[in-house]
Amino acid sequence: MKFQNACSSRRNFLLGAAAVSLSPHLSFAQAPAWPTRAVKIVVGTGPGSGTDTITRLLAPRLEAIWKQPVIVENKAGAGGIIGTEYVLAANDGHTILMASPSMLLAKYTTRHLRFDPLTDLIPVYRVFNTPVVFITNAKTAQRAKTMAELVALSKSSPQGIFFAGAGRASFFNLAMAVVAKPMGLRYTAVDFTGVGPLTMALMRDDTQLAISAHISVKGQLDSKELHALAVIDSHRLAALPDVPTLEEAVGYKGFLPISWGGIFAPKGTPAEAVNTIARAFGTLYADEAARKALEARLSGTLLQSSPAQFAKEYAEEANGWKNTFATVGIVPE
């Protein structure tokens, strides 16, 4: 009798354990830790952009932390809209977005946008800031060696100079629209689908001016094929100590658009996954030697962040751009 009771108890225990293992209501602690498979980081810009370069440099270190492959995939176009839509459509728990401000700015520049950057995405971690610079080509630099001289040159024809842009809703085009008017700079935008075609057009003198992250054109600046005229920041870049800030160059005192890269996940991503992603980027930041080496290479700043901190900064920046656009008359099209 005792033996039968013991067998019955053991059978009930095993059945209960099996039921728990099959239950769809397991806590996250009992489920396999995230990530359970390869992680895809989608970059909304083309190969060779600052955001793309930084993401690819960080990917191997994320693989070491997560013990899973990390795949970087470019989905360029429409000022970051294509990449964002791709991530939202995937919504598979393992596809995340490395976005620039262009993705946010689409909210204020593009009619009938199929997503809301402020509600359909979770800000996870602001990874880096990277000041951008005004650049010109060698031929134009013979006529305009400084930003002030380039502004004067732009007034010599009705259409002004040709600006190499990345699309009306891109950060670069919108940054240009914001800073050009107070400077009195006259220009016509010519848009390209990526950093490569944009840079080639500038070098051929098809265009005379562009805004770029330093890392994207470092080789051409070093070879003197391109020339940096001014940094759009309140401080000079350590990598370009002789290049003045926009205020130093032309007395500009307005809004200073700063480019950044941040990780986002689709709305509905479990909090534990969001926190795991954020902790990994925090680990990268905490490695001081590696961080300083990367910063020297990137001419940017890796950041210490968190989902709560990034969400706050993201909302504040959205409001700042919204007010600036209202001032300069930029409306959705």
The pLDDT tens digits of the residues spanning 20-35 come to 333 333 333 444 589 9
Architecture of domain 132-250: 3-Layer(aba) Sandwich (3.40)
More confident residue, 7 or 187: 187
Mean pLDDT along residues 263-291: 96
Q: Does the pLDDT of residue 15 top 80, yes or no?
A: no
Mean pLDDT along residues 319-323: 90
| Measured distance CA(225)–CA(212) in Å, rounded | 15
The pLDDT tens digits of the residues spanning 38-85 come to 999 999 988 888 889 899 999 999 999 999 999 999 998 888 899 999
Please state whether the peptide bond connecting residue 35 to the residue before it is cis, i.e. omega within 30 degrees of 0.
yes
What is the pTM (predicted TM-score) of this model? 0.81
User: Where does residue 251 fall: left (phi above 0), alpha (psi -120 to 50 degrees), or beta otherwise?
Assistant: left
Query: Among 66, 40, 6, which residue's Cα sits nearest to residue 263?
Result: 40
The pLDDT tens digits of the residues spanning 282-319 come to 999 999 998 998 888 777 889 999 999 999 999 999 99
Architecture of domain 39-130+258-328: 3-Layer(aba) Sandwich (3.40)
Give Cβ neighbours of residue 178 (< 8 Å, ≥ 6 apart). 254, 255, 257, 324, 328
The rounded percent of the chain whose pLDDT value lies above 90 is 69
The pLDDT tens digits of the residues spanning 214-238 come to 888 989 999 999 999 999 999 999 8
**Token pair for 99:** 């976005």
Q: Does the pLDDT of residue 260 top 80, yes or no?
A: yes
- Taking the mean position of all CA atoms in its chain, how far away is CA 225? 26
The rounded percent of the chain whose pLDDT value lies above 70 is 90
Task: Tell me what pLDDT residue 32 has.
Answer: 57
Q: What's the mean pLDDT when you consider all of the chain? A: 88
Same fold, 39-130+258-328 and 132-250: yes
**Token pair for 306:** 């968190």
Please say whether the beta carbons of 282 and 304 come within 8 A: yes
Confidence of residue 242 (pLDDT cuts 50, 70, 90): very high
More confident residue, 231 or 194: 231
Query: Domain boundaries in the chain?
Result: 39-130+258-328, 132-250
